């Protein structure tokens, strides 16, 4: 297990360096002078004095050669320094730390919803192949995959907040504030997990070892839960890792529709206000998170399938 | 001239006394009408009394800082109305300056020296006194920044100094006449506690603000919310408000929600008391017996077509006038974008800035919807129809119509109206900042926009030959001669008349074409009363109460 973990960790390092290079180049690839761009983001659109220009260039290290700037950037990253937001005048790391718990709460709830609903519905569909339950599950999954989150969110607000007054329409607070956003964010993932669980379990149920288990006289639920489902979950776990990225991306829309605080709302703000240090910091943070989640997924494989661990 | 925020909250209003006018007494400035604001009488037996919380939802919560020096977003000014104060306030009905933190104020004969006698009973929320030193401290910080909306409001390069005459008297001087300083002082120049600025350093404005207002800021999360709590020691409310002591709400919670449908849902679900609506939601909310809607005329310039006169075909006045006749502005009001929640604009400046009397005067220069006349103008000038598009001397009447994100539903009907007279408009939607850059460079033929702010002179720099915002190539000495009077005349009536005259000429020459006067729609529960709308349109909830 140790060498496997080390190998996977070593594999993540070049990925993160690649991401850091792309993120660093974001500011420089945009047409125009980066110093003027930063001045504009700070609201300084009037004529800028040479002194002010030089001061901003010095502050952001933009008076240095590009390779040196990158090395400084990486050095700062390793120290946890993601720069300072030009619009909010606060350290980017501080802003991310403030908002991350709200997104984590939302993403974890949405993922939990997606896993529970997706796996249960997928298993139910596979075990009832060709019957009405299977048909319903397939229709729901197709509906969930096809439906845009913003539309579903607005519909949910209308039904549960406006028409029946059961849940709040927006904001953050107790668990009641989390229900609609989590379902909205998680429904697409739930649909994807349902479809994959169904097909994967059907495939597993056709394997020889299942026939052997049945021949041995094992109870059907033990065959499904103890043998087929475990093996069928490997692609599902891969999908969960991928879905985590989708959930972070989807948080931008969901947090906007439900007016929730979080990294999605912060990302939208960074992009719309051209706050490059903040946008760079967020991309770097989310990319790192994504790499880490994939690492965890890889480790989960080795638990689910020992052949991977010893390969 | 076109922007989406309070950029350079423009100058003027016919406000000031002729020479060395004191703060009392009306001047000859024309009265204005406030537009179609819903007026509901309180329920029988209902009376204003303290209550727990007022929940407000706006279209965004603003971002950045609330420090007067660097705050560049509109919402900073909205909040400052509650957590801070201004030296003077402008009465939204008469457009006259009224006492605020200054109990008396005057300006000298040349319009470059203002004297403010301050109240001596005002304290910041941290207990420190508000006095002449505090005014000087704030003004000098703003001046030192050399950029930003507050710097512009303080006169920009015109600002010379602030002198402490005695502990409660200050004198502010400018290098040149600055006749509209009261308007800007009432809009942008609020006061931060000098002690708090020193104590909190970089956190001031982004985490903490300390003012003198009827509410203290207790939580500010940019882009999300602002929570305010009542200042029970408050007793220096300006006379423009119905009360001068502490507000009725113990707490005011203001949230920003970008998505219009969600904003509406917070009102309908009872989660909010006051909500800024989208125009398209207004008819439904108006029909709902639980709610009422205030339609507040937007302060600034009207939605208008800005035409690049440096390029073919708009270097020809005939084409500009043909466009003016081709556009059915009544139809634009009724189109889905505004759903009837707008008015046909008569001038470049909006209702809120100018008033009803002015609107009457401009009726004589309106074009009216007359596509047949537009076609005839083009025919007579040699623009022949070839297929669906006209051309002259081998040049087709094909124009680049750029517009910012979100305006597509507004420009599509205009595109169809232009096509009807043989002008082919190619629509290009640009992200707002890119759009702003693009028209500043004069790359387009035509665009649509408006700006926010107070004063009768917001359009001056866009049409003055050497104006800083004249990106359209307007060069008309006769117009220049009128425009300089809008800012420069000592007599407020002369400035007002010049503003009207200039707008008449702009329309007659079709340098810019006014389309719509738009409104900010605020939906609220029927139990909400006394929302206050200052000249810059965005509400203050200091005096707002809920009928129990």
DSSP SS3 for B358? helix
CA-nearest residue to A257 within chain B is B259
* Beta-sheet strand order (sheet of B169-174): B102-107, B113-118, B169-174, B159-166
Q: What is the mean pLDDT of residues B196-219?
A: 95
Cβ contact A19:A284 at 8 Å: yes
The single residue listed with the structure tokens 């849940």 is A167
Of B221, B261, B271, nearest to A154 by CB-CB distance is: B261
Query: Between chains, do A88 and B262 touch, taking CB under 8 Å as contact?
Result: no
Which pLDDT band, with edges at 50, 70 and 90, does B241 fall under?
Answer: very high
Give CA separation, B320 vs B317, B333, B344, B502, in Å.
Answer: 5, 21, 19, 18
CA-nearest residue to B220 within chain A is A88
- Output the six-digit token pair for B326: 């081709």
What's the confidence (pLDDT) of residue B30?
Answer: 33
Q: Which of A55, A103, A171, A172 to mutate to test the interface with B (most CBs of B within 10 A)?
A: A171
In sequence order, which residues have a C-beta less than 8 Å from that of residue B94 and are 6 or more positions away?
A: B26, B29, B31
Chain A partners within 8 Å of B262 (Cβ): 154, 157, 169-170, 257-259
Of A49-63, A122-136, A173-187, B489-503, minimum mean pLDDT range? A49-63
Chain B partners within 8 Å of A165 (Cβ): 269-270
- Output the six-digit token pair for B27: 């001047």
Of A160-169, B98-107, B334-343, minimum mean pLDDT range? B334-343
Question: pLDDT digit string (tens) for B261-275?
Answer: 999 999 999 999 999
Alpha-carbon dihedral B147, B153, B157, B160, rounded to 10 degrees: -120
**Is it the case that residue A85 has pLDDT exceeding 50?**
yes
- The C-alpha atoms of residue A104 and residue A244 are separated, in whole angstroms, by 11
Give CA separation, B210 vs A277, B256, B440, in Å.
Answer: 28, 22, 38
Which pLDDT band, with edges at 50, 70 and 90, does A36 fall under?
Answer: confident
Chain A contact for B6 (CB, 8 A cutoff): no
Query: Between chains, do A88 and B222 touch, taking CB under 8 Å as contact?
Result: yes
**Is it the case that residue A51 has pLDDT exceeding 90?**
no
Question: pLDDT digit string (tens) for B345-389?
Answer: 999 998 888 866 666 778 888 999 999 999 999 999 999 999 999
- Output the six-digit token pair for A252: 């931008």
Cβ contact B308:B444 at 8 Å: yes
> Which of B193-207, B434-448, B486-500 tops mean pLDDT?
B193-207
Which pLDDT band, with edges at 50, 70 and 90, does B223 fall under?
Answer: confident
What's the confidence (pLDDT) of residue A89?
Answer: 80
Cβ contact B177:B165 at 8 Å: no
Beta strands in B247-341 (DSSP E): 249-256, 274-276, 291-297, 303-307
Q: Tell me how crowded residue A221 is: count the other CB atoms within 10 A of its CB.
A: 10
**Is it the case that residue B22 has pLDDT exceeding 50?**
no
- Output the six-digit token pair for A96: 């991310």
Bridging pattern class, strands B169-174 and B159-166: antiparallel
What's the confidence (pLDDT) of residue A1?
Answer: 62
Q: Name the residue among B334, B332, B330, B328 with its Cα closest to residue B283.
A: B334
For A243-247, the CB contacts below 8 A with 24+ separation are A243/A111, A243/A114, A243/A189, A243/A192, A243/A193, A244/A107, A244/A111, A244/A290, A244/A293, A245/A290, A245/A293, A246/A188, A246/A189, A247/A107, A247/A110, A247/A111, A247/A185, A247/A186, A247/A189
Cβ contact B332:B386 at 8 Å: no
Residues 159-198 of B with CB under 8 A from A: none
Chain A contact for B258 (CB, 8 A cutoff): yes
Sequence ranges of the domains in chain A: 2-78, 99-310
Chain B contact for A162 (CB, 8 A cutoff): yes
Of A274-288, B36-50, B62-76, B521-535, minimum mean pLDDT range? B36-50
Of B147, B202, B224, nearest to A43 by CB-CB distance is: B147
Q: Tell me how crowded residue A178 is: count the other CB atoms within 10 A of its CB.
A: 22
Give me the half-sphere count of Cα atoms (radius 13 Å) on the Cβ side of residue B531: 30
Chain A partners within 8 Å of B268 (Cβ): 161-162
Q: What is the mean pLDDT of residues B197-206?
A: 93
- Give how far B468 is from chain A: nearest CA, Å: 10
Q: CATH number for the A99-310 domain, one of 1.10.3720.10, 2.30.130.40, 3.30.9.10, 2.60.40.1120?
A: 1.10.3720.10
Burial (0-12, 13-18, 19+ Cβ within 10 Å), A50: exposed
- Is the alpha carbon torsion for A247, A253, A254, A259 positive or negative? positive
What's the confidence (pLDDT) of residue B149?
Answer: 86
In sequence order, which residues have a C-beta less than 8 Å from that of residue A46 and are 6 or more positions away?
A: B147
Of A169, A257, A266, nearest to B269 by CB-CB distance is: A169
Give CA separation, A279 vs A271, B323, B406, in Å.
Answer: 6, 42, 23
What's the confidence (pLDDT) of residue A125?
Answer: 94
- Compute chain A's Rg from CA coordinates: 24
Q: Name the residue among B267, B265, B157, B220 with its Cα closest to residue B522.
A: B267
Query: Between chains, do B265 and A158 touch, taking CB under 8 Å as contact?
Result: yes
Which pLDDT band, with edges at 50, 70 and 90, does B2 fall under?
Answer: very low
CA-nearest residue to B258 within chain A is A256
Query: Between chains, do A88 and B261 touch, taking CB under 8 Å as contact?
Result: no
Query: Between chains, do A265 and B223 touch, taking CB under 8 Å as contact?
Result: yes
**Is it the case that residue A10 has pLDDT exceeding 90?**
no
Of A78-82, A245-249, B183-187, B458-462, minimum mean pLDDT range? A245-249
Question: pLDDT digit string (tens) for A140-169?
Answer: 999 988 888 889 999 999 999 999 999 999
CA-nearest residue to A253 within chain B is B259
DSSP SS3 for A129? coil
Query: Between chains, do A158 and B206 touch, taking CB under 8 Å as contact?
Result: no
Of B65, B72, B259, nearest to A256 by CB-CB distance is: B259
**Is it the case that residue A199 has pLDDT exceeding 50?**
yes
Q: Which of B258, B267, B270 to mutate to test the interface with A (most CBs of A within 10 A)?
A: B258
Chain A partners within 8 Å of B64 (Cβ): 43, 87-89
What's the confidence (pLDDT) of residue B5?
Answer: 34
Chain B contact for A279 (CB, 8 A cutoff): no
Q: What is the mean pLDDT of residues B254-283?
A: 94
Query: Between chains, do B262 and A259 touch, taking CB under 8 Å as contact?
Result: yes
Q: If you average pLDDT over every residue of chain A, what do you get?
A: 85
Query: Between chains, do B259 and A257 touch, taking CB under 8 Å as contact?
Result: yes
> For A128-215, where are the alpha helices, taking DSSP H only?
132-146, 149-156, 179-205, 208-215
Q: Name the residue among A274, A266, A269, A288 with its Cα closest to residue A94.
A: A266
- The C-alpha atoms of residue A105 and residue A264 are separated, in whole angstroms, by 13
Chain B partners within 8 Å of A170 (Cβ): 255, 257, 262, 265-266, 271
What's the confidence (pLDDT) of residue B38?
Answer: 45
Cβ contact B541:B314 at 8 Å: no
Query: Between chains, do A157 and B265 touch, taking CB under 8 Å as contact?
Result: yes
What's the confidence (pLDDT) of residue B434?
Answer: 78
ipTM: 0.77
**Chain A to chain B, count of Cβ pairs less than 8 Å apart?**
83
The single residue listed with the structure tokens 């077509």 is B305
Beta strands in B261-301 (DSSP E): 274-276, 291-297
What's the confidence (pLDDT) of residue A311?
Answer: 54
The single residue listed with the structure tokens 């017996």 is B289
What's the confidence (pLDDT) of residue A43?
Answer: 53
What's the confidence (pLDDT) of residue A48?
Answer: 61
Q: B313 preceded by cis ω (within 30°)? A: yes
Query: Between chains, do B202 and A89 touch, taking CB under 8 Å as contact?
Result: yes
What's the confidence (pLDDT) of residue B12?
Answer: 30
Chain A contact for B256 (CB, 8 A cutoff): yes
Q: If you average pLDDT over every residue of chain B, what do you get?
A: 88
Q: Tell me the percentage of chain B whose pLDDT exceeds 90.
A: 69
């Amino acid at each position: 297990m140790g060498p496997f973990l080390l190998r996977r960790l070593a594999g993540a390092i070049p990925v993160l360096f690649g991401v850091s290079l792309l993120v660093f180049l974001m500011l420089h690839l945009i047409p125009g002078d980066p110093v003027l761009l930063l001045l504009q983001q700070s609201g300084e659109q009037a004529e800028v004095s040479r002194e002010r220009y030089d001061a901003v260039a010095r502050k952001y290290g933009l008076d240095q050669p590009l390779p040196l700037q990158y090395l400084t950037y990486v050095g700062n990253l390793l120290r946890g320094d993601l720069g300072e937001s030009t619009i909010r005048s606060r350290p980017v790391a501080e802003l991310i730390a403030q908002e991350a718990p709200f997104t984590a709460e939302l993403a974890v709830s949405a993922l939990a919803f997606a896993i529970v609903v997706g796996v249960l519905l997928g298993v139910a569909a596979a075990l009832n192949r060709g019957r009405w339950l299977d048909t319903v599950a397939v229709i729901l999954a197709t509906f969930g995959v096809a439906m845009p989150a913003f539309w579903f969110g607005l519909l949910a607000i209308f039904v549960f907040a406006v028409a029946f007054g059961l849940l709040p329409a927006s904001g953050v607070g107790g668990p009641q504030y989390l229900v609609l956003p989590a379902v909205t964010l998680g429904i697409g993932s739930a649909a994807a997990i349902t479809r994959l669980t169904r097909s994967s379990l059907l495939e597993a149920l056709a394997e020889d070892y299942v026939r052997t288990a049945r021949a041995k006289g094992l109870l059907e639920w033990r065959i499904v839960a103890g043998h087929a489902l475990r093996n069928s979950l490997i692609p599902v776990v891969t999908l969960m890792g991928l879905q985590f990225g989708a959930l972070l991306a989807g948080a931008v829309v969901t947090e906007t529709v439900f007016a929730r605080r979080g990294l999605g709302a912060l990302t939208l703000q960074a992009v719309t206000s051209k706050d490059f240090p903040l946008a760079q910091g967020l991309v770097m943070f989310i990319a790192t998170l994504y790499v880490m989640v994939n690492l965890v997924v890889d480790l989960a494989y080795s638990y689910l399938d020992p052949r991977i661990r010893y390969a | 001239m076109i922007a989406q925020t309070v950029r350079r909250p423009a100058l003027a209003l016919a406000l000031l006394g002729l020479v060395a006018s004191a703060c009392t007494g009306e001047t000859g400035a024309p009265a204005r009408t406030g537009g179609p604001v819903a007026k509901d009488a309180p329920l029988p037996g209902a009376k204003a009394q303290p209550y727990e919380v007022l929940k407000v939802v706006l279209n965004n919560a603003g971002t950045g800082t609330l420090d007067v020096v660097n705050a560049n977003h509109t919402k900073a000014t909205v909040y400052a109305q509650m957590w801070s104060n201004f030296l003077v306030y402008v009465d939204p009905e008469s457009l006259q300056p009224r006492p605020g933190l200054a109990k008396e104020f005057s300006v000298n004969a040349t319009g470059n020296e203002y004297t403010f006698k301050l109240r001596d009973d005002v304290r910041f929320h941290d207990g420190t006194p508000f006095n002449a030193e505090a005014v000087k401290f704030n003004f000098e910080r703003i001046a030192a920044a050399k950029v930003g909306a507050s710097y512009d409001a303080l006169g920009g390069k015109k600002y010379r100094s602030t002198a402490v005459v005695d502990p409660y008297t200050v004198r502010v001087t400018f290098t040149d006449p600055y006749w509209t300083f009261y308007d800007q002082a009432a809009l942008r120049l609020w006061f931060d506690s000098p002690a708090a600025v020193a104590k909190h350093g970089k956190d001031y404005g982004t985490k903490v603000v300390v003012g003198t207002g009827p509410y203290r800021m207790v939580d500010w999360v940019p882009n999300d919310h602002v929570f305010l709590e009542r200042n029970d020691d408050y007793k220096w409310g300006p006379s423009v408000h119905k009360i001068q002591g502490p507000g009725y709400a113990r707490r005011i919670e203001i949230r920003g929600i970008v998505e219009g449908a969600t904003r509406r849902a917070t009102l309908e679900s009872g989660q909010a008391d006051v909500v800024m609506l989208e125009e398209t939601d207004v008819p439904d909310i108006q029909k709902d017996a639980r709610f009422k809607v205030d339609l507040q005329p937007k302060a600034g310039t009207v939605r208008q077509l800005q035409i690049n006169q440096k390029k073919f075909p708009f270097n020809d006045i005939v084409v500009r006038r043909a466009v003016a006749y081709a556009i059915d502005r009544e139809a634009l009001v009724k189109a889905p974008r505004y759903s009837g929640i707008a008015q046909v604009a008569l001038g470049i400046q909006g209702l809120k800035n100018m008033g009803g009397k002015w609107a009457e005067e401009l009726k004589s220069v309106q074009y009216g919807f007359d596509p047949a006349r537009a076609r005839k103008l083009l025919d007579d000038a040699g623009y022949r129809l070839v297929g669906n598009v006209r051309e002259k001397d081998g040049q087709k009447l094909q124009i680049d119509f750029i517009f910012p994100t979100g305006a597509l539903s507004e420009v599509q009907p205009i595109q169809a109206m232009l096509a009807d007279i043989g002008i082919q408009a190619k629509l290009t939607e640009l992200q707002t900042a890119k759009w702003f850059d693009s028209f500043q460079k004069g790359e387009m033929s035509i665009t649509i926009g408006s700006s926010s702010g107070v004063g009768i002179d917001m359009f001056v720099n866009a049409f003055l030959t050497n104006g800083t915002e004249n990106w359209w190539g307007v060069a008309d000495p006769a117009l220049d001669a009128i425009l300089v009077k809008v800012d420069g005349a000592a007599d407020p009536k002369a400035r007002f008349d010049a503003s009207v005259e200039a707008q008449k000429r702009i329309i007659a020459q079709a340098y810019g074409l006014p389309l719509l006067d738009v409104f900010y729609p605020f939906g609220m529960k029927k139990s909400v009363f006394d929302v206050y709308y200052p000249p810059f349109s965005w509400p203050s909830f200091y005096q707002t109460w809920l009928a129990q």
